[in-house]
Amino acid sequence: MGGASAVLLLALAVPLPLGGEPLSPPVARKHPYVIELNGNTRTDEYYWLRDDTRTNPDVLHYLKAENDYLAAALAHTQPLQEQLFAEMSARLDPDDTEVPWREGRYWYAWRYRKGQEHPLLTRRSGAPHAPEVVILDANQQAGTDAFYEIGGWEVSRDGKLLVFTEDRTGREIHDLRVRDLVSDALLPDHIPGAFSQVAWANDNRSLYYIRLDEALRPNRVYRHRLGANADADVLVYEEKDRTFDMSLKKTRDANFVMINLVSTLTTETRLVDANAAAATSAPFRAREKDHRYSVEIDGDEAWILSNWDAPNYRLLRTPLRDSADKSRWKEVLPHRTDVPLFDLALFRGFAVVNEVHGGTLKLRVLGRAGDEDFFIEGDEPAYSAMLGDNAEIETDTLRYVYTSLATPATVHDVNLRTGEDVTLKRDFAGTDPSPQSLRTERLAVTARDGALIPVTLLYAAGARPDGTRAVFLHGYGAYAAVFNPEFNREVLSLVKRGFVYAIAHIRGGGEFGRAWYDAGRVLNKKNTFTDFTDAARGLVKTGWAAPDRVIGFGRSAGGLLIGAVANAQPNPFALLVTEVPFVDLVTTMMDESIPLTSFEWEEWGDPHNPAHYDYMLSYSPYDQVAARVYPHMLVTTGLWDARVQYWEPAKWVARLRANKRGDSRLFFSTDMSAGHAGLAGRYQRLRETALEYAFILNTLGAGSPQ
């Protein structure tokens, strides 16, 4: 690959807004690489940018050249970036503390100290206002590492030991550690290469954790005995089907460790007796194709959310002994074609589920004796009411979180017997602008095929749809995920400058249940992209957006959305911003060595299927780059991303540079010390947002608050 010759400079000038000499962006050399499948041959001239080791000097040189180009081209925006960073930082409570929650005889809380990047895990014995003890200081653990993040954690039943996992690269490969909370010392038990989640057995000496396969897929559950060599750990369960993902958690009644196995269309939960020293795993209900379920257990009874004869799920209950026999499951809430069910929490006297009504998330409370049935909901046009920290099962108090685009996340405790609702905390949001000066509403935009696409708006009080405003339009549309309208401190810096922030609830998401999801999946995926462009055009048509001031934003799978709409002709977007975008769809889905590939086939399609291959190829952002005018674009990634590998956006930008026409700006940033989630520090991550907003404001010629 030839050392520094791997990167050449092309005289494609980008003038600086404040004058001075034009800059020339780096252009990666072409090295044709032929990919064949289904009788089809493609040439990937930038395949050489893939380096699984992240050490190839040619690749690193190119990434650095792109970073340097961006820094030089946007150097004149540094004062604006600092202003934006200061604004967003001022909306963080410097000494922020979560509302304490109870587990056993202790009250736990995460909190921050002023000026620190990472949180502390604290607990108090007996009462929420007893003396505080710090049991885990992520700042201390991080040391001088550029990236640090706590994964999972759990305290043993006797309260004496803390197991936690930590990630020091952003690669989502964790080290497992155990701290003695009596002596405040780390034990010798150290297991590298683990997944984030952990769970204690009830003997206070054994714990369960997950190991990863060669593609970084969590696929094996082990039991570790304190003090033993990790090489002697017992394999409890191995998932050999590569289309399944794995997670681990303790049931809230503390009797079982649940191994949850999930593919796009099928799930299985396996139970491990937490009270048995040498327990094996057994399925709650054996997997069957297209059956997805989740379960909550209390003693000898289980409650289940299941899509059995119910595409949008229904709620059922069964004696635990009958869990394998679906015919013994008794229906509590029937299936409804217009109301999807999501999260479930089981209490000793109640069950609580999230229901989505017209794209709005509400909580439904049901008495286990059939004596109660009521909703927890809000009065704004669009909002989210979600389950909070509910570690205890034997309580009449439900903790929930209420939020909207205009209302900071607010933690409530409601007594399910009396109905008394107490507000415990509203997240700090500063005064710039104040939440009282914000307004939110929901529109319905008509897609080209007649479907109604909900769009949730946030804007400053007094704003009107007069056809002059810039709109920051955010989309996702994948995995049946409901894009909940939640308060976002960062976008206030755009709103205070006259922008409208908008969420397009496009097909491929779960806002209207399974049919909405299926309409944006596999061979229907293009609906996701046309919905987004139609939402942009609808905002222009209704006067909420100026025709030349619409910004599209998406992250990860939402980056695939942005990559696809970048090729739209004519294009309704003036700018596109995307983080860790999944843009090399076909090549990635062909390669099972890449994390998540086989798990994703039921979401995007299996390229080994010729019909899927042709359809995926027809919209794959990397494959569809052509000689055309593109909007201004900013693309970001993390070198250590394990979900969307850095080389996808790197190759995409390289191909865009070689093909795009006109004088639109194209910038690419690689964080050399972060993964898929970006930097872990609460202030550090604001730097990337400040850069993105400065790019937007500078390109549009905006920047001063109204």
Q: Where are the domains of the chain?
A: 145-289, 292-428, 432-682
Q: Which residue has better confidence, 678 or 15?
A: 678
Max distance between CA atoms of the chain, in angstroms, equals 76
- Residue in 31, 29, 24 with CA at minimum distance from that of residue 4: 29
> How does DSSP assign 568-606, residue by residue?
-SS---SEEEEES----HHHHHH-TTSTTTGGGHHHH--
Question: For residue range 244-264, what is the model confidence (pLDDT) as tens digits?
Answer: 999 999 999 999 999 999 999
Q: What was the pLDDT predicted at 704?
A: 63
> Residue 596: is its pLDDT beyond 90?
no
Question: For residue range 329-345, what is the model confidence (pLDDT) as tens digits?
Answer: 999 999 999 999 999 99
> Residue 504: is its pLDDT beyond 50?
yes
> Burial letters for 637-670: b for 16+ Cβ neighbours within 10 Å, e otherwise?
bbbbbbbbbbbbbbbbbbbbbbebeeebbbbbbb
Phi, psi of 64 (to 5 degrees): -65, -40
How many helices (H) and strands (E) are present in the chain, helices listed first? Answer: 12, 39
Token pair, residue 231, equals 């090489």
Q: Please report which confidence band the pLDDT of residue 23 belongs to, taking 50, 70 and 90 as the band edges.
A: confident
- Residue in 661, 668, 678 with CA at minimum distance from that of residue 647: 668
Phi, psi of 421 (to 5 degrees): -115, 120
Question: For residue range 213-246, what is the model confidence (pLDDT) as tens digits?
Answer: 988 999 999 999 999 999 999 999 999 999 999 9
Query: Are 145-289 and 432-682 equal in CATH topology?
Result: no
d(CA 400, CA 38): 51
Q: Please report which confidence band the pLDDT of residue 592 belongs to, taking 50, 70 and 90 as the band edges.
A: confident
d(CA 161, CA 207): 11
Q: Which residue has better confidence, 277 or 45?
A: 45
Helix or strand run (H / E) with residue 264: none
Which entry of 294, 641, 669, 671 is annotated as an active-site residue?
Answer: 641
Q: What was the pLDDT predicted at 658?
A: 97
> Residue 12: is its pLDDT beyond 50?
no
Q: What was the pLDDT predicted at 11?
A: 27
| Pairing assessment for the beta strands 234-238 and 26-28 based on DSSP bridges | unpaired
- Residue in 329, 414, 408, 410 with CA at minimum distance from that of residue 374: 414
Q: What was the pLDDT predicted at 703?
A: 60
d(CA 682, CA 119): 9
**Catalytic site includes residue 676:** yes
- Look up the CATH number of domain 292-428: 2.130.10.120
In angstroms, the Cα distances linking 690 to 206, 430, 539, 686 are: 45, 17, 25, 6
Which entry of 384, 404, 493, 556 is annotated as an active-site residue?
Answer: 556
> Percent helix, strand, coil in the chain (nearest 5)?
20, 35, 45
**What percentage of the chain reaches a pLDDT higher than 70?**
96
Q: What was the pLDDT predicted at 1?
A: 32
> Residue 537: is its pLDDT beyond 90?
yes
**Catalytic site includes residue 253:** no
Q: Please report which confidence band the pLDDT of residue 14 belongs to, taking 50, 70 and 90 as the band edges.
A: very low
Q: Please report which confidence band the pLDDT of residue 3 belongs to, taking 50, 70 and 90 as the band edges.
A: very low
Q: Please report which confidence band the pLDDT of residue 13 belongs to, taking 50, 70 and 90 as the band edges.
A: very low
> Residue 184: is its pLDDT beyond 80?
yes
Q: Please report which confidence band the pLDDT of residue 60 belongs to, taking 50, 70 and 90 as the band edges.
A: very high
Distance of CA 652 to the CA centre of its chain: 22
Residues 6+ apart with CB under 8 A from 344: 294, 296, 303, 305, 315, 351, 352, 353
> Residue 599: is its pLDDT beyond 90?
no
Distance of CA 499 to the CA centre of its chain: 24
The β-bridge partners of 120 are 111, 137
Cβ atoms of 470 and 501 within 8 Å: the answer is no
Other CB atoms within 10 A of residue 675 CB:
26
Q: What was the pLDDT predicted at 595?
A: 78
Token pair, residue 297, equals 């257990």
d(CA 356, CA 367): 20
Q: Please report which confidence band the pLDDT of residue 594 belongs to, taking 50, 70 and 90 as the band edges.
A: confident
Phi, psi of 446 (to 5 degrees): -85, 120
Q: What was the pLDDT predicted at 153?
A: 98
CATH topology (fold) of 145-289: Methylamine Dehydrogenase; Chain H (2.130.10)
Q: What was the pLDDT predicted at 706?
A: 62
| Amino acid at the residue 114 | K
In angstroms, how far is the first alpha carbon of the chain from the final one? Answer: 51
The whole model's pTM is what? 0.94
- Residue in 532, 485, 487 with CA at minimum distance from that of residue 508: 532
Rounded to an integer, the average pLDDT of 672-689 is 93
Distance of CA 296 to the CA centre of its chain: 24
DSSP 475: -
d(CA 98, CA 455): 31
Strand, helix or coil for residue 330: strand
Least confident of 8-12, 162-166, 172-176, 292-296: 8-12
**What percentage of the chain reaches a pLDDT higher than 90?**
91
DSSP 360: E
Going through 90-213 in order, the beta strands assigned E by DSSP cover 101-103, 106-111, 120-125, 132-137, 149-155, 161-167, 174-180, 185-200, 206-212
Token pair, residue 436, equals 């009282």
Token pair, residue 237, equals 């369960």
Helix or strand run (H / E) with residue 408: none
Token pair, residue 125, equals 């014995």
Architecture of domain 432-682 in this structure: 3-Layer(aba) Sandwich (3.40)
| Pairing assessment for the beta strands 34-37 and 40-43 based on DSSP bridges | antiparallel
Chain mean pLDDT for the chain: 94
Residues 6+ apart with CB under 8 A from 262: 244, 245, 246, 247, 292
Phi, psi of 215 (to 5 degrees): -95, 15
Q: What was the pLDDT predicted at 204?
A: 97
Question: For residue range 270-313, what is the model confidence (pLDDT) as tens digits?
Answer: 999 999 988 999 999 999 999 999 999 999 999 999 999 999 99
Q: What was the pLDDT predicted at 19?
A: 39
Q: What was the pLDDT predicted at 57?
A: 98
Rounded to an integer, the average pLDDT of 140-161 is 96
